[in-house]
């Protein structure tokens, strides 16, 4: 069996920084360390952080003392003002690529533009970006949402960072017809693009694809979606336990890719297992 591993896979820059900062904060502080939502969409990493004392809260108003870690997805602007008012220390791990989208939304909203975010309205990153334009953005995630965008003079289109380029281009083309003066910012992050491109490259060449990452991780799910376009046997698994060993037994070439929130140790476990199982000489 041949194993092809996607060149760009696993932890992205933003997630790596958030996990390292959280571990560092937990080493320095034995109590009252909170994160606003789970730091990443990976149960194994979350369990590790919880075992070191991290407490996950869903609302900033649930705490009034201690340190609160802002994850790479970012948060609405009012979280910063609340923290300042009650004296909470924020440890801000908002990824710089997400910050760029938040700032664009904020700047153009303040200049009278209607903001359209191409993305998933339930995703925390999109909820956060919307909070930088007074929660007045119009969220477009499919062609059915286009009619929510009013005809307007000034329109600014941004994207959730994990959106596929194909979907962003298709939807922004339709949205831009609603405005006279239109600013379009492709704010898809490079890490996402690189992972999607490397996944596409190897999915074309293999007989089965293993996509490793949290079942709730949107960027991992997108890698599985892309893989399915080029390969008929795609398995999205979170850990080694879920590896469909029997189905892989007679496969000649297996491709491996992993989402931006998948730690190296989980990827290595799976690669080692496959090598031991199928490539014993």
List residues near ligand SF4 by CB under 6 A.
Answer: 12-15, 72, 95, 97-98, 161-162, 189, 191-192, 260
| Shortest reach from residue 139's CB to ligand SF4, in Å | 18
- Measure the CA–CA gap between 195 and 258, rounded to whole angstroms: 8
Q: How many Å apart are CA 133 and CA 102, to the nearest integer?
A: 8
Is 128 within 8 Å of 99 (Cβ atoms)?
Answer: no
- Closest distance between ligand SF4 and the C-beta of residue 191, in Å? 4
CB atoms within 10 A of CB 53: 14
C-beta closer to ligand SF4: residue 13 or 235 = 13
The two tokens of residue 223 are 């890698």
Taking the complex as a whole, the smallest distance from the CB of residue 250 to ligand SF4 amounts, in Å, to 35
In the bound complex, what is the minimum distance in angstroms from residue 143's beta carbon to ligand SF4? 25
- Residue number of the CB closest to ligand SF4 reads 14
Helix (H) or strand (E) holding 247: helix 245-248
CB closer to ligand SF4 out of 101 and 157: 101
Q: Output the CA angle 50-78-13, nearest 5 degrees.
A: 50
Residue 89: helix, strand or coil by DSSP? strand
What is the signed CA dihedral for 157, 161, 165, 166, rounded to 10 degrees? -80
Is 125 an annotated catalytic residue?
A: yes
Q: Which is nearer to ligand SF4, 141 or 192 (CB)?
A: 192
- For ligand SF4, the closer CB: 191 or 234: 191
CB of 49 to ligand SF4, least distance (A): 16
Catalytic residue among 28, 125, 197, 201: 125
Please calculate the CA angle 239-40-165 and round it to the nearest 5 degrees: 95
Burial tier of 96 (Cβ tally within 10 Å: 0-12, 13-18, 19+): exposed
User: Whole-angstrom Cα distance, residue 49 to residue 65?
Assistant: 20
List of residues 6+ apart from 74 with CB closer than 8 A: 94, 95, 98, 99, 102, 124, 125, 128, 129
Assigned token pair, 5 = 């591993």
Tell the smallest beta-carbon distance from residue 87 to ligand SF4 (Å).
Answer: 28
Q: Which residues are catalytic?
A: 125
């Amino acid at each position: 069996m041949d194993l092809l591993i996607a060149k760009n896979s696993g932890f992205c820059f933003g997630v790596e920084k958030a996990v390292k900062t959280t571990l560092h904060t937990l080493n320095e502080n034995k109590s009252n360390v909170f994160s606003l939502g789970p730091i990443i969409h990976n149960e194994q990493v979350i369990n590790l952080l919880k075992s070191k004392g991290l407490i996950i809260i869903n609302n900033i108003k649930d705490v009034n003392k201690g340190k609160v870690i802002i994850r790479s997805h970012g948060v609405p602007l009012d979280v910063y003002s609340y923290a300042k008012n009650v004296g909470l220390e924020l440890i801000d791990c908002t990824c710089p690529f997400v910050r760029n989208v938040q700032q664009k939304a904020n700047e153009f909203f303040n200049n009278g533009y209607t903001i359209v975010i191409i993305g998933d309205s339930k995703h925390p990153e999109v909820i956060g970006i919307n909070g930088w334009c007074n929660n007045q953005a119009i969220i477009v995630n499919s062609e059915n949402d286009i009619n929510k965008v009013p005809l307007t003079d000034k329109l600014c289109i941004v994207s959730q960072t994990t959106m596929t380029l194909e979907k962003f281009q298709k939807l922004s083309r339709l949205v831009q017809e609603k405005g006279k003066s239109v600013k379009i910012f492709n704010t898809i992050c490079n890490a996402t693009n690189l992972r999607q491109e490397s996944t596409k490259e190897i999915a074309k060449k293999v007989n089965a694809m293993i996509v490793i990452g949290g079942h709730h991780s949107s960027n991992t799910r997108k890698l599985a979606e892309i893989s399915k376009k080029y390969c008929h046997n795609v398995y999205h698994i979170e850990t080694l336990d879920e590896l469909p060993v029997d189905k892989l037994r007679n496969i000649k070439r297996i491709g491996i890719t992993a989402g931006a929130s998948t730690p190296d140790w989980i990827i290595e476990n799976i690669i080692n297992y496959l090598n031991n199982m199928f490539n014993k000489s």
